[in-house]
Amino acid sequence: MMSMEFLLASGIGVVTASGIWLLLRGRSFPVVLGLTLLGYAVNVFIFAMGRLWRDAAPILGEAGARVADPLPQALVLTAIVIGFATTGFVVELALRSRADNGSDHVDGREPGEHRREGGR
């Protein structure tokens, strides 16, 4: 029987492995998707490390009462905003690279194309 911890760890591992695999592709769109998947995996990991509290107040109340830790939620919320801005920047960078080089390959040339000695 699988435990929930094993299932969560396996899910995070699969998303991380998929993100790394996409990062190693030769085109810019899969690289952007890989960065996004890695961001999602890190967010879920941070959120999972904060644990799920049951019957715990989200705000301090009575002395000695159980309270949930708001720090992982605040970190994930901040990471989502930063990840969205970074994804927008990387997409714009990829579009600019395609416009300048005429290719969306990450090194600016198609596979099998050789660079000329005199520059472009």
Residue 57 sits at φ, ψ, to 5 deg, of -75, 140
List Cα–Cα distances, 108 to 64, 75, 80, 117, in angstroms. Answer: 61, 36, 30, 16
Compute the distance between CA of residue 104 and CA of residue 95 in angstroms, rounded to an integer: 8
**Residue 29: inside a domain:** yes
CATH number reported for the structural domain that contains residue 14 in this entry: 1.10.287
Number of structural domains the chain divides into: 1
* Mean pLDDT, the chain, integer: 84
**Residue 81: inside a domain:** yes
**Residue 78: inside a domain:** yes
**Residue 79: inside a domain:** yes
Q: pTM value? A: 0.75
**Residue 97: inside a domain:** yes
pLDDT category at 82 given cuts 50, 70, 90 is: very high
**Residue 18: inside a domain:** yes
Residue 42: which residues within 8 A CB-CB, separation 6 or more?
79
Which of 26, 23, 24, 20 is CA-nearest to residue 108? 26
**Residue 58: inside a domain:** no
Q: Which range marks the domain in which residue 81 is found?
A: 4-53+67-101
* Of residues 102 and 21, more confidently modeled: 21
Give the per-residue pLDDT at 50.
80
**Residue 116: inside a domain:** no
